[in-house]
Amino acid sequence: MQKWMRRAAVAAMISGLVVAPALAQQMSSMGAAQTHSKGNAAPLSPPAKASVMVAGASITIDYSAPSVRGRKIFGGLVPYGQVWRTGANAATTLKTTTNLKIGSLMVPAGTYTLYTMPGADAWKLIVNKQTGQWGTVYHADQDLGRVALKVAKNAAPVEKMKIEFTHTQGAMTALHIVWADLNLSVPVTVVK
């Protein structure tokens, strides 16, 4: 019965027909029930945001935050020597309203995708010009550049990945990617 109602609704939309009020009400309540039942489960990697104002400029990073959930993360789920989407789901997006210097990399105002290259001892942050893609879609020819990340150990394991800005002062801040046992960071400076 549900498949028939869905097909009827699609056919009505395609042909521009008006759906009978009783059928429309049934389809509406059925859709609401399905949405409600799906809405009860929290996503495994919920959307998250890191944002900061530096010297009057806005810097925002949108990402999905995965959790450890008992898994080996670095050198396991996130293999060394392979580009990582730096989060989960859709690509992690950096938006800046001004020119930045991330580490030694000049980043013009605009929107970018952030990836990382994990290593057992050294990591790189990748700023990529392609935007709007799923996180596993990566094209090296679209790289704006790569910059070294400082690698430090967390005092205690961090269950849910977080990206944050710290030590914001004047035209400077620090970008951190914190998850499992690692705290990866790079200085960010507003360039006017």
In tens digits, what is the pLDDT along the chain, a chain of 192 residues?
444 444 444 444 333 433 333 333 433 333 333 334 355 677 899 999 999 999 999 999 999 999 999 999 999 999 999 999 999 999 999 999 999 999 999 999 999 999 999 999 999 999 999 999 999 999 999 999 999 999 999 999 999 999 999 999 999 999 999 999 999 999 999 998
- Residue 54: HSE in the Cβ half-sphere, 13 Å Cα cutoff: 27
What letters, b where the CB count within 10 A reaches 16 and e where it falls short, cover 158-191?
Answer: beebbbbbeeeeebebbbbbbbbebbbbbebebe
Q: Is the dihedral of CA 132, 136, 141, 143 positive or negative?
A: positive
Closest C-alpha among 118, 110, 109, 115 to residue 191: 109
Q: Please give the model's pTM, rounded to 2 decimal places.
A: 0.78
Domain limits of the chain?
2-39, 47-191
CA distances to 41, 50, 61 from 44, rounded to whole Å, are 9, 19, 19
pLDDT of residue 42: 78
**Measured between alpha carbons, how far apart are the two ends of the chain, in Å?**
62
